Amino acid sequence: MGDFKHLVLVKFKEGVVVEEITKGMEKMVSEIDTVKSFEWGLDMGSQEMLTQGFTHAFLMAFHNAEDFTGFLSHPSHVEFSGTFSTAFEKVVLLDFPAVVVKSPV
């Protein structure tokens, strides 16, 4: 078993300044000690029919599900969620214990 992961796929609304959202997310995760790691990226050319309009992926890792639960109620997360929820047109959230097949070096 690996870490507990929180994956967010987003299609932002037209006119949203995505850089402000990503900077806000980076600030939020830096304030929450239970976030073990945070990565994000922009899709770089997948076929539209496969992405279904989703353009950004955000991935957080936690040591366990309990740390993730604490993250959800952390004041920085609660505050940022209000901003984030008004910025996207579509979102997919997946929360899962990771099964490690090959560890990164």
Question: Does residue 71 form part of some domain?
Answer: yes
Length of the chain in terms of residues written: 105
pTM of the model: 0.90
Question: Does residue 102 form part of some domain?
Answer: no
Q: How many CA atoms lie within 13 A of 51 on its CB side?
A: 15
User: Domain range holding 81?
Assistant: 4-97
Residue 34 main-chain phi, psi, to 5 deg: -75, -10
Per residue in 6-25, pLDDT tens? 999 999 999 999 999 999 99
| pLDDT (average), residues 85-95 | 95
Question: Does residue 105 form part of some domain?
Answer: no
Confidence label for 40 from pLDDT (cuts 50, 70 and 90): very high
Q: What is the pLDDT of residue 1?
A: 61
Contacts of 85 (CB under 8 A, 6+ apart): none
Helix 18-30 / helix 75-85 crossing angle, nearest 10 deg: 170
| pLDDT (average), residues 32-58 | 89
